[in-house]
Structures are given as C-alpha cells and as structure tokens.
Amino acid sequence: MGKTREIKKRIKAVGNIRRITKTMQMIATAKFSAAQQRAVASRPYTDTLFELVAGLAKALSDLKHPLLTAAEKKGAGRPLTLILTSDRGLCGPYNGAILRTAMAFARENPANRAGFIELVGKKGAGFLKYNNIPVSQAHTIGDKPTYETIESLAQNYMDRFASGEITSVHVVYMKFLSAGKQVPTVMQLLPFKADALEKHTPGKIEKATGESAAATTQYEFSPDAAQLLGELLPAAVKAVLFQCFNDAIVSEHVARMIAMKAATDNAGKMGKRLTRTFNRARQAQITTELTEIVAGAAALG
C-alpha cells in the first residue's frame, strides 16, 4: 500500500510540474512573437543604415572621423566588451553559449580580458566571478529595451571612445537568424569599420568580407560628406546596438520556449511511465490480497 501511495504522490507532482512548464512555454511563445515583431521591424532600417554608412566610410578613405579610427591619444585607454545575457534562467543553453563565446574571445584577445567588461543580465555575473573576470559595470535593461535607453548607452560608449578612455567596443550576444537558428556572435561596434563585422563561432573569429554595392557607388553629397557622415555614423552605432539587444531578447525567448516544450514533453512521458508503474503495483497488490483471502478460506474449510 505504501508503494502505490508514493507513486500517486509522484504522479501528482509530475502533473503539477507539467502544468507549470506548459504555462511557461505559452508565456515564452507570446513574448517571442512580440519580440520577433520588434526585431524584424527594426532590422531593415538598421541594415540599410549600416550598409550606407559602411559604403560611405569605405569610399571616403581620406575622410577622418573619431568613430572610424581608434583614438590616437596616449593614455590608459582599454578595450571594452559588453556581454548580453538573460536575467532569468530556464532557457536551455542560451547563456552557456554566450558565455563560452565570450571566454573564447577573451582567450584569443588578452587585451579585452584585461579591459572593461560590462554585463547585461544577472545570469552572467556568477560565471564571470567564478572565472575571476571583474565586471566594471552591470546594466539592468529588462526584456523590453527602449530605444532611448540603448541610445544613452551607445552615446556613453561613443563619448568614452572619442575621449580615448576606451579603444574599442565589442558586443557578445546571440544573433537571431530564424526561430530555428541563433548564433552566438562577437560584433565590433567601435571603431566602426567599413569591411568588418566580427562574428565569433566556437573556436574561430571570422570577418565578413562581402562587398556591398554601396562601396562602389558614386555619391554627390549635400550637405558635405564630413557633415553627413558625422550625422549618420552615431545613428548607425545606436541602431546597430539596439538591434543587438532586440536579437538577444528574441533568442532568449526562443530558447526558453524550446526548453519549456522539452520539459513539458518529458513530464508527460514520465507521468505515463509512473501511471503504468502504479497500475502494475496496484494489480500486484490486488492479486496478493486475493491470494491471501483464498488461502485463508481454504485453511478454515
């Protein structure tokens, strides 16, 4: 009797877990749908602006801008690395993939490891502390970042870069390609380079070398090229950083949705196995009771 009672408790507990994970899956699906709409809506503007500025910067090689080249001021300038993780767990390998990518990038670039490390999300704090990597600043953004918040952060980076406090800015995040594919990526935000977006895949850093049609296009500038580039470059940096945050949030919701679906399916399978085990145990118990009754009746007869 004790065994069947214990199995019934386990069946009830697994059922409760399944209901919780099913609810979390539905919430993650709804959040993913909303976040995907925001990310997809902003991507055409970001990509077009990036290509335009990249083409202009490449065509105007003789034009100098503080955001196109590393600061020439001598001092204690150090590179900055921004790592985007999640505030909450239960999202599968999402945080692990980002943090492994960040560690591989740090191993390949010791200067970045010794530089400023800034973190978004609570899940990366323990990992970095365990690996003895000090975090210079932790940002709390949430899962619905506003453009104004990211604009302020990007402006802070540009001001520090122009003053020589930081020599470069890299962003480690999960790039969203589709609902079935997300890639941990290292992107160089500053200095802005016309022919390079660094993408970090496990074990290798690759540079995009695709030639853009804008690079060979002849432009007539009004106003002049320097003023135009001075307006477009900061806007491109802000837009690209905002897209990084949108991609990271969409990827987090996808990972959580997949993880909770797997947990729900596993809980359902475990519930079926426990039900079969309970039925077998109950049948064995009934058979034992019937045997004892028949044996007792035979002994009295």
DSSP-assigned beta bridge partners for residue 206: 199
d(CA 86, CA 119): 10
Judge whether 279 and 83 are in contact, CB under 8 Å: no
Residue 123 covered by a domain: yes
What's the pLDDT score for residue 61?
63
Within a domain: residue 126?
yes
- In this structure, what CATH number is given to the domain that contains residue 227? 3.40.1380.10
Q: Which among 201, 260, 241 is positioned nearest to 18, based on CA atoms?
A: 260
Total structural domains within the chain: 1
Q: Say if 155 falls within a structural domain.
A: yes
pLDDT on residue 53: 77
- Domain-located, residue 21: no
- Residue 118 placed within a domain: yes
Contact 104, 170 (CB under 8 A): no
Alpha carbon 211 to chain centroid distance?
28
Residue 68 neighbours by CB under 8 Å, 6+ apart: 57, 191, 192, 193, 233
Whether 237 maps to a domain, the answer reads: yes
Taking only the tens of pLDDT, the chain with its 301 residues reads: 558 889 999 999 999 999 999 999 999 999 998 888 888 888 888 888 877 777 676 666 666 677 777 655 545 689 999 999 999 889 989 999 999 999 999 999 999 999 999 999 999 998 999 988 999 999 988 888 899 999 999 999 999 998 889 999 999 999 998 888 999 999 998 887 655 443 333 333 333 334 444 445 565 666 666 677 778 888 888 998 999 999 999 999 999 999 999 999 999 999 999 999 999 988 888 888 888 888 888 888 6
Domain containing 77 equals: 27-256
As a whole number of angstroms, the distance between CA 132 and CA 122 comes to: 16
pLDDT at 297: 82
- The two tokens of residue 89 are 């767990």
β-pairing, 204-207 with 198-201? antiparallel
Report the alpha-carbon distance of residue 37 to residue 212 in Å, rounded.
27
Q: Is residue 135 part of a domain?
A: yes
Give the pLDDT score at 202.
37
Determine, yes or no, domain membership for 12: no
- The string of DSSP codes covering the chain is -HHHHHHHHHHHHHHHHHHHHHHHHHHHHHHHHHHHHHHHHHHHHHHHHHHHHHHHHHH-TT---TTTS-----SS-EEEEEEE--SS--STTHHHHHHHHHHHHHHH-HHHHHSEEEEESSHHHHHHHHTT---SEEE---SS--HHHHHHHHHHHHHHHHHTSEEEEEEEEEEEEETTEEEEEEEEEES--TT--EEEETTEEEE--PPPGGGG-----SS-HHHHHHHHHHHHHHHHHHHHHHHHHHHHHHHHHHHHHHHHHHHHHHHHHHHHHHHHHHHHHHHHHHHHHHHHHHHH-
